[in-house]
C-alpha cells in the first residue's frame, strides 16, 4: 500500500507544481511589487519553512501512529498528501522569490554607441 499511496501522492504533487508553474506570471507580478528585503525573507524563509513543515508533519504523523515499521496507515494518506501540497506550494513561492531577486539584479546589456563606427 505504501508504494501505491506514495505514487498517487507523488503524481498529485507534481501536477500541483506544474499547475503553479503555469501561474508564474502572476507570482512574478505579486513579487515585483514587494520590497527587496521582503522578497529575501519570502525566498529564504519559504525554502526553509517548507522543509520544516514537512519534517514536523511527518514526525507528528509518526507520533500519532500513522506511520510505523509496517508503513503508512490508510487513514494517514490524506495527511501525507496535504503535507506534500503545502511543501510544494511553499517551495515554489520561495524559489520564485529567489529567482525574482536573481533576475531582477541582472545588469542590462550595454547600449549601442551613439556615434556609428565604420568597420575596419
| Per-residue pLDDT in tens (0 to 9) along the chain, 120 residues | 678 999 999 999 999 999 998 888 888 888 888 888 999 999 999 999 999 999 999 999 999 999 888 889 999 999 999 999 999 999 999 999 998 888 875 455 566 666 666 776
DSSP for residue 35 = -
Tell which residue, 93, 89, 72, 92, has the closest CA to residue 8: 72
Output the pLDDT for position 22: 85
Count of all residues that appear for the chain in the document:
120
Output the pLDDT for position 120: 63
Amino acid at each position: 500500500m505504501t508504494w501505491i499511496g506514495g505514487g498517487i501522492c507523488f503524481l498529485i504533487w507534481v501536477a500541483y507544481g506544474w499547475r503553479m508553474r503555469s501561474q508564474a506570471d502572476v507570482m512574478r507580478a505579486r513579487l515585483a511589487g514587494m520590497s527587496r528585503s521582503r522578497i529575501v525573507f519570502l525566498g529564504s524563509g519559504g525554502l526553509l519553512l517548507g522543509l520544516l513543515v514537512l519534517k514536523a508533519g511527518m514526525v507528528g504523523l509518526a507520533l500519532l501512529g500513522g506511520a510505523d515499521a509496517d508503513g503508512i496507515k490508510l487513514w494517514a494518506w490524506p495527511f501525507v498528501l496535504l503535507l506534500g501540497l503545502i511543501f510544494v506550494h511553499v517551495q515554489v513561492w520561495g524559489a520564485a522569490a529567489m529567482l525574482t531577486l536573481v533576475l531582477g539584479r541582472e545588469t542590462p546589456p550595454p547600449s549601442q554607441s551613439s556615434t556609428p563606427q565604420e568597420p575596419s
